């Protein structure tokens, strides 16, 4: 090892002082830039004037962009820039902005139900309280249960609901017909698995697809849907871990049964793989929520009339077939200097039925705003879905009682452990009860939460 000390060049006392002062000065500088921003940026600004930026992703971003000219007819002095950040990139970008005390964040943020509690809990003040801006007046305008998501304590309003997605069951009617299966008559997932075997034997098509190695976190969407159809989730309402509840084991066992019977195609690679599989017709069922209908129409327009949609079969005979599996929201950054102008845009986009109808017609994004459903758009027969009234199917689900879901601030950790457990089951044939118990133990260790057993 070399010795780096060179005694004859040691700085004099004054030099050291100078250096120290310099270091202190820059530390102070850095500290200043670290604080500030924060939760309160003073006045909310002018509700009719300002320049605001909106962050969203893909389809929803395009729809918000398309809404701006109409918005500007009412609010000519608010300049709106909608940026498509992409999903999941948007979550990292919001996190980084929040961690920097709101620096660089957009004014309006599109946030999913899976991330909202995390941001609220980890970054208090990161999202503006919408109650003083007038959000509470819209309390009863949204689908039942959603107000609890955006305003857990009933006072502070963290965001306003936009999309409300119910569990769906999109299927290729032509394939099932060839297999001689009456899909509308399927009451449980056990029956569906038997139907899937017939389907595979007659047509060669898989029942459904799962991203088995979990290249994307949403690989667990199907598992999560099966859980929610039983009124269960990863956490109970007290925040205790329920990853290895009987309902969870039941859901994972169903998935294992399907996989062992060779009914599950591998969607390794995430979204792109899903799209290719859709175009190739690899699987006959897409157990995706409301918003996915628009994606199918867009991706395979030539298959109009071959597709149908229904609510998913129950997990247990006679059990519920409706579940609100996710919602997304628009929030306003606490650091925004144009909170009032941002609120004008959020209110225009989310509480005005005409805006939501327009968005639904564009991309099939289902609103949480109940009044929007009065529009004919939700009650017309859909040519693509074989003349079915798709909008009414999901509206019925939205009106059905859906138990409250507690995502907690540790949802991302739980989801990761669940996708890993699912990969073990699907790729290595692991025992569902065992891997879920191990996942619950890991989650308890990582978060300090208790497992409810």
Partner 1 sequence: MTLAPPAPAPARTKAPAARPRRRGRAAPYLFVLPALLLFAAFKLYPIGWSFVMSLHRTVAGVDTYVGADNYTRMLDDPLMWTALRNTGVILAVQVPLMLALATALAVALNSTLLRGRSLFRLGFFLPMVTGLVAYGIVFSVLLNKDYGLVNWLLGQLGIDPVPWLTDGLWARISLGLALTWHYTGYNAVLLLARLQTIPHELYDAASVDGAGAFAAFRHVTLPGLRPALLLTTVLSTIGTLQLFDEPYVLTGGGPDNATLTIGVYLYRNAFTYFDFGYASALAYALTVLIGLLGLLQFRLLGEKP
Q: Quote the Cα angle for 395-321-153, to 5°.
A: 70
CB nearer to partner 1: pick between 118 and 161: 118
Q: Could you say whether residue 201 binds partner 1 (CB under 8 A)? A: no
Q: Which of 420, 439, 440, 449 is in the footprint of partner 1 by CB under 8 A?
A: 420
Say how many residues make up the chain.
453
Helix (H, G, I), strand (E, B) or coil at 204: coil
Calpha distance 292→388 (Å, rounded): 16
Contact call for residues 382 and 388 (beta carbons, < 8 A): yes
Q: Kindly state the smallest distance separating residue 153's Cβ from partner 1, in Å.
A: 13
> Per CB under 8 A, which region of 6-14, 145-153, 239-247, 380-388 contacts partner 1?
6-14
Query: 333 forms bridges with which residues in the sheet?
Result: 127
* Token pair recorded at residue 185: 């008559």
Q: Could you say whether residue 22 binds partner 1 (CB under 8 A)? A: yes
Is the bond preceding residue 88 a cis peptide, omega within 30 degrees? yes
Q: Kindly state the smallest distance separating residue 90's Cβ from partner 1, in Å.
A: 12
Q: Kindly state the smallest distance separating residue 253's Cβ from partner 1, in Å.
A: 19
Q: Kindly state the smallest distance separating residue 124's Cβ from partner 1, in Å.
A: 4
Neighbours of 362 (CB within 10 A): 15
Q: Which of 27, 89, 237, 404 is in the footprint of partner 1 by CB under 8 A?
A: 27
Number of H helices, E strands in the chain: 16, 10
Measure Cα distances from 357 to 13, 204, 350, 368 in Å.
Answer: 73, 39, 10, 11
Count of residues near partner 1 by CB under 8 A? 48
Q: Could you say whether residue 121 binds partner 1 (CB under 8 A)? A: yes
Measure Cα distances from 396 to 248, 290, 322, 438 in Å.
Answer: 26, 12, 8, 38
Q: Could you say whether residue 386 binds partner 1 (CB under 8 A)? A: no
Q: Could you say whether residue 423 binds partner 1 (CB under 8 A)? A: yes
Q: Which of 95, 187, 203, 388 is in the footprint of partner 1 by CB under 8 A?
A: 95
Q: Kindly state the smallest distance separating residue 413's Cβ from partner 1, in Å.
A: 5
Q: Which of 38, 144, 239, 269 is in the footprint of partner 1 by CB under 8 A?
A: 269
H, E, C per residue of 205-240: CECEEECCCCCCHHHHHHHHHHHHCCCCCCECCCCC
Q: Which of 6, 30, 140, 185 is in the footprint of partner 1 by CB under 8 A?
A: 30
Residue with tokens 């089951």: 425
Q: Could you say whether residue 445 binds partner 1 (CB under 8 A)? A: yes
Q: Which of 48, 51, 89, 96 is in the footprint of partner 1 by CB under 8 A?
A: 96
Calpha distance 384→293 (Å, rounded): 10
Q: Which of 62, 100, 412, 433 is in the footprint of partner 1 by CB under 8 A?
A: 412
Q: Could you say whether residue 410 binds partner 1 (CB under 8 A)? A: yes
382: left (phi over 0), alpha (psi -120 to 50) or beta: beta
Calpha distance 192→184 (Å, rounded): 11
Q: Which of 118, 312, 320, 391 is in the footprint of partner 1 by CB under 8 A?
A: 118
Whole-angstrom distance between the N-terminal and C-terminal Cα of the chain? 57
Q: Could you say whether residue 131 binds partner 1 (CB under 8 A)? A: no
200 CB-near residues (< 8 Å, 6+ apart)? 206, 207, 261, 262, 263
Q: Could you say whether residue 281 binds partner 1 (CB under 8 A)? A: no
> Per CB under 8 A, which region of 89-97, 137-145, 185-193, 380-388 contacts partner 1?
89-97
Q: Which of 61, 84, 171, 212 is in the footprint of partner 1 by CB under 8 A?
A: 212
Which positions from 214 through 243 interact with partner 1, judged by CB under 8 A?
Answer: 214-216
Judged by the rule CB under 8 A, the positions of this chain that interact with partner 1 are: 1, 11-12, 14-15, 18-19, 22-23, 25-27, 29-31, 34, 91-92, 95-96, 99, 118, 121-124, 212-216, 266, 268-269, 273, 276, 409-410, 412-413, 416, 420, 423-424, 427, 442, 445-446
């Amino acid at each position: 090892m070399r010795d780096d000390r060179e005694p004859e060049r040691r700085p004099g006392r004054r030099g050291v002082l100078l250096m120290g002062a310099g270091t202190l000065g820059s530390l102070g500088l850095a500290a200043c830039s670290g604080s500030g921003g924060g939760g309160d940026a003073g006045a909310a600004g002018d509700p009719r004037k300002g320049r605001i930026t909106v962050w969203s992703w893909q389809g929803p971003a395009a729809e918000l962009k398309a809404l701006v000219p109409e918005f500007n007819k009412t609010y000519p002095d608010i300049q709106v820039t909608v940026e498509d950040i992409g999903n999941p990139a948007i979550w990292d970008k919001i996190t980084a902005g929040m961690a920097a005390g709101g620096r660089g964040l957009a004014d309006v943020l599109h946030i999913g139900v899976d991330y909202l509690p995390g941001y609220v809990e980890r970054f208090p003040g990161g999202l503006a309280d919408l109650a003083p801006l007038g959000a509470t007046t819209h309390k009863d305008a949204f689908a039942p249960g959603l107000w609890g998501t955006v305003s857990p304590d009933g006072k502070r309003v963290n965001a306003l609901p936009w999309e409300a997605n119910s569990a769906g069951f999109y299927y290729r009617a032509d394939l099932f017909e060839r297999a001689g299966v009456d899909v509308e008559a399927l009451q449980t997932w056990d029956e569906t698995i038997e139907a899937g075997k017939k389907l595979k034997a007659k047509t060669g098509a898989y029942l459904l697809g799962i991203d088995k190695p979990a290249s994307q976190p949403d690989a667990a969407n199907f598992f999560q849907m099966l859980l929610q159809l039983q009124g269960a989730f990863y956490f109970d309402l007290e925040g205790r871990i329920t990853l290895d509840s009987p309902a969870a084991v039941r859901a994972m066992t169903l998935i294992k049964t399907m996989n062992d019977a060779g009914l599950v195609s591998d969607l390794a690679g995430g979204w792109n793989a899903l799209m290719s599989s859709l175009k190739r017709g690899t699987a006959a069922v897409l157990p995706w929520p409301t918003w996915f209908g628009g994606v199918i129409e867009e991706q395979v327009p030539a298959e109009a009339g071959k597709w149908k949609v229904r609510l998913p079969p129950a997990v247990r005979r006679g059990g519920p077939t409706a579940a609100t599996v996710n919602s997304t929201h628009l929030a306003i950054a606490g650091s925004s200097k144009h909170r009032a102008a941002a609120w004008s845009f959020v209110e225009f986009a989310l509480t005005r039925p005409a805006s939501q109808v327009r968005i639904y017609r564009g991309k099939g994004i289902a609103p949480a705003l109940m009044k929007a459903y009065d529009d004919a758009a939700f009650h017309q027969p859909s040519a693509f879905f074989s003349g079915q009234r798709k909008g009414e199917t999901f509206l019925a689900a939205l009106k059905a009682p859906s138990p409250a879901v507690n995502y907690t601030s540790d949802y991302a950790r739980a989801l990761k452990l669940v996708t890993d457990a699912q990969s073990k089951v699907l790729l290595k044939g692991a025992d569902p009860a065992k891997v879920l118990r191990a996942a619950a133990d890991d989650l308890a260790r990582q978060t300090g939460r208790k497992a409810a057993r």
